[in-house]
Structure formats: structure tokens, C-alpha cells
């Protein structure tokens, strides 16, 4: 299964996301391109992820990867779980000169009483997880739901246009 291509982006209540990095690990995992059927460890990070991290299927962000997401949850999740979520905010970053936004999401079927604290913990982690030599610039403002939805839709549109273009190239 190609998680990026075969998983629908939109659901009845929100969006699907794919878990690449489990909460509590100090390893950064990414889907293996081009098959997107498994993850591999690409490096260690400073500290442990205080959240689940992954991406939106059928999206293409400005950093040439699927759009990143941070899942704030108290539920146990596994690598490659597909979770139905609702966006709750946007964290803007620039990494190595490329826009690399992260969409904050929550499970559509979960109530989270400590959401404010979890959002702050996510920002704190993003400030330090790449170490002192990091080229990442972090905007410490958490943008709203409408900003998050706009980024998701733009990245989905780019993905669709790329697939149309590659399908045309294959046919000629």
C-alpha cells in the first residue's frame, strides 16, 4: 500500500493523517519514497517527541514532501496508523530555506482536556529538537484553523496538479 497515494485525504468529519513518528521516541522516521509503504529511521533528534508526527496523504508541501502534521492526543498510536483528525492550528517554520509548515491536529473522536499545554509543549520541542546547528526558523505564534485549512487545501491542489502532469507525461 502506498500510504500517500492510496489513503484519501478528506473524510466525513475531517482529514486522514499517517503516523510516521511515535510519541516518546528520539528517532525521526519518514516514509520510504517512492513506494511510501514503510518508514525508516533517518536520524536521531534531541529529546523525545512529545506528540505523534506524520503527514497528510495526497499533499505536496513547498519542501517537496507531504504536508507535516502534529497529532495532539492521549491515545496510543502506532507507526503507519491512519487517523481521522480535525485541524486546530498551524505552526509556521522555514527549514534550510524552505517553507515547512506543521498542522496541529486532534483525533475527531477524542476530547483533550489539556490541549493548551500540549500545544505549548509542541512549540518548545520544535525550538530545540534539531540542535544548536539547526537551520530551522520557527514562528512561535500558533495560527488558527482557517490558516491550517488553507495550507492543507493548497498542498492538496499541488499534489493533484503534479499527478495530472506526470500522468500526461507518461501518456506521451
123-136, pLDDT tens digit by residue?
Answer: 889 888 877 777 78
Q: What is the pLDDT of residue 165?
A: 65
* DSSP string covering the chain: --HHHHS-SB-SSSEEEEEEE-TT-SEEEEEPTTT-SSEEEEEE-SS--SSEEEE-TT---TTSSPPEEEE--SS---TT-EEEEEEEEEEEEEETTEE--EEEEEETT---TTHHHHHHHHHHHHHHTT-TT--EEEEEEEE-HHHHHHHHHHHHHHHHHHHHHHHHHHH-
pLDDT band at 92 (very low <50, low <70, confident <90, very high): very high
Residue 65 pLDDT greater than 80, yes or no: yes
Q: What is the pLDDT of residue 29?
A: 95
66-83, pLDDT tens digit by residue?
Answer: 999 999 999 999 999 999
Record the pTM.
0.91
Amino acid at each position: 500500500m502506498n500510504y500517500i497515494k492510496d489513503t484519501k485525504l478528506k473524510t466525513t468529519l475531517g482529514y486522514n493523517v499517517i503516523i510516521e513518528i511515535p510519541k516518546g521516541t528520539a528517532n525521526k522516521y519518514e516514509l520510504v519514497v517512492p513506494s511510501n509503504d514503510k518508514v525508516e529511521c533517518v536520524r536521531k533528534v534531541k529529546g523525545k517527541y512529545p506528540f505523534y508526527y506524520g503527514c497528510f496523504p495526497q499533499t505536496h508541501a513547498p519542501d517537496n514532501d507531504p504536508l507535516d502534521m502534529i497529532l495532539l492526543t492521549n491515545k496510543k498510536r502506532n507507526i503507519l496508523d491512519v487517523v481521522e483528525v480535525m485541524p486546530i492550528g498551524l505552526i509556521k517554520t522555514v527549514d534550510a530555506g524552505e517553507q515547512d509548515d506543521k498542522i496541529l491536529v486532534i483525533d475527531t473522536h477524542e476530547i483533550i482536556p489539556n490541549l493548551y499545554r500540549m500545544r505549548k509543549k509542541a512549540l518548545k520541542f520544535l525550538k530545540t529538537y534539531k540542535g544548536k546547528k539547526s537551520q530551522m526558523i520557527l514562528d512561535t505564534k500558533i495560527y488558527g484553523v482557517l490558516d491550517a485549512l488553507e495550507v492543507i487545501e493548497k498542498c492538496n491542489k499541488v499534489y493533484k496538479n503534479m499527478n495530472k502532469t506526470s500522468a500526461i507525461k507518461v501518456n506521451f
